[in-house]
Structure 1
Amino acid sequence: MLPDLTQYIWIAWLVLALLFVTIELLTLEFTFLMLAAGSALGGLGVYLFGGPWWLQIVVAAALSALLLFTIRPLLLRTLRRGDEPARTNVDALYGMGARVVAPFVEDRGSVRLDNGETWTACLEPDASPAQVGDRMRVVRVLGSAVEVAPSPARERTSDDG
């Protein structure tokens, strides 16, 4: 005769919940946290109230699904509220300020961007000629060069070197 192992099912619920919490610590997306809560509250909770094993599984699954589709989106929205995606690489150059460091000859010159990089630059087609020290802004990236246009007057008057 086989022993009744259902009296030890609470250990399985705890191990499952701890496994889900461990995975959640690695992923940080609140998915496995909801599964852990469903396992601990649903499965273990029904066990403590004397429910059969099949009811424990049904309640744990239902509670996990409920948490996944209701609480998780609220948590993610709260976590990411107000965050504008950080622009990186070439996308970060658009609109960046620059200072002319080498004179423009035949529409080619050099500018030092506000991030400290020096780039070959060409003037925007309708832009007026630029002198060394003038403030510019990046309009487009053309491969290994940037197209620049004069900055608004309020920036041009600052002489921050």
Structure 2
Amino acid sequence: MLPDLTQYLWIAWLVLALVFVIIELLTLEFTFLMLAAGTLVGGLGVNLLGGPWWLQVALAAALSGLLLFTIRPLLLRLLHRGTQPALTNVDALYGMGARVTSPFVDGFGSVRLDNGETWTAKLPDDAADTLGIGTRVKVMTVLGATVEVAPLPSAPSTERSSEHG
């Protein structure tokens, strides 16, 4: 006759919860933490109260799902509160500095952005084509594969006078 293994089911619940906690420590997304909590409260809790194995599994699954869809989003929102999302792709170009690499002719030229990319550039309609090579500009808008740039205000001269006084 085989022994009744359901009396050792509490060990399985503890091991499963421990595995979930270890995986959570590697992922840090609160997903496996919610599964571990459901396992401990639903599975192990019902086991310790003497419930049948199918009720333990059902309650562990239901509680894990409930925690995943209610508590996890709140925890993630609290974790990411106050942090600005990182700007990527075209959104990261707005306001970026650049240096003119070819002279502007009829309002179009070329610039090298501070991130190292070279783009075709367009001046605003009210700007003059007087930007020389090496002039610092700022990206105002992105128009497809062209950036619209405006000259940066010129910085005060940092040259020192040769006069000693």
TM-score bracket for this pair, using the shorter chain length: 0.7 to 0.9
Aligned-partner Cα distance in 2 for 1:81–1:32: 21
Aligned-partner Cα distance in 1 for 2:22–2:61: 19
CA deviation map 1:55-104 (0-9, x unaligned): 32233233223322321111110112123321223331123223435432
Which deviates further from its counterpart, 54-63 or 69-78? 54-63
Q: Relative to structure 1, is the Cα distance of residues 160 and 87 closer, same or farther in structure 2, using a 3 angstrom cutoff? A: farther
**Does the Cα contact within 8 Å between 1:104 and 1:110 map onto a contact in 2?**
yes
| 1:46 CA displacement | 2.5
Q: Relative to structure 1, is the Cα distance of residues 90 and 159 closer, same or farther in structure 2, using a 3 angstrom cutoff? A: farther
| Corresponding residue number in structure 1 for 2:150 | 149
| Corresponding residue number in structure 2 for 1:158 | 155
Aligned-partner Cα distance in 2 for 1:123–1:52: 75
Aligned-partner Cα distance in 2 for 1:67–1:140: 43
Letter in 1 for 2:89: N
Give the aligned CA root-mean-square deviation in angstroms: 2.9
| Corresponding residue number in structure 1 for 2:87 | 87
| Corresponding residue number in structure 1 for 2:3 | 3
| Corresponding residue number in structure 2 for 1:127 | 127
Which deviates further from its counterpart, 60-69 or 34-43? 60-69
CA deviation map 1:87-128 (0-9, x unaligned): 223331123223435432333334343335454423233323
- Greater fraction helix: 1
Which deviates further from its counterpart, 42-51 or 100-109? 100-109
Aligned-partner Cα distance in 2 for 1:140–1:19: 49
Normalised to the residue count of structure 1, the TM-score between the two structures is 0.75
Letter in 1 for 2:9: I
| 1:5 CA displacement | 0.7
Q: Does 1:140 align with 2:142?
A: yes
Specify every segment of 5 or more residues in structure 2 that has no aligned partner in the other structure, as ranges: 159-165
Normalised to the residue count of structure 2, the TM-score between the two structures is 0.73
SS at match of 2:40: helix
Which deviates further from its counterpart, 9-18 or 112-121? 112-121
> Percent of aligned pairs with the same residue?
71
SS at match of 1:73: helix
Specify every segment of 5 or more residues in structure 1 that has no aligned partner in the other structure, as ranges: none
Aligned-partner Cα distance in 1 for 2:68–2:144: 45
Q: Relative to structure 1, is the Cα distance of residues 21 and 109 closer, same or farther in structure 2, using a 3 angstrom cutoff? A: same
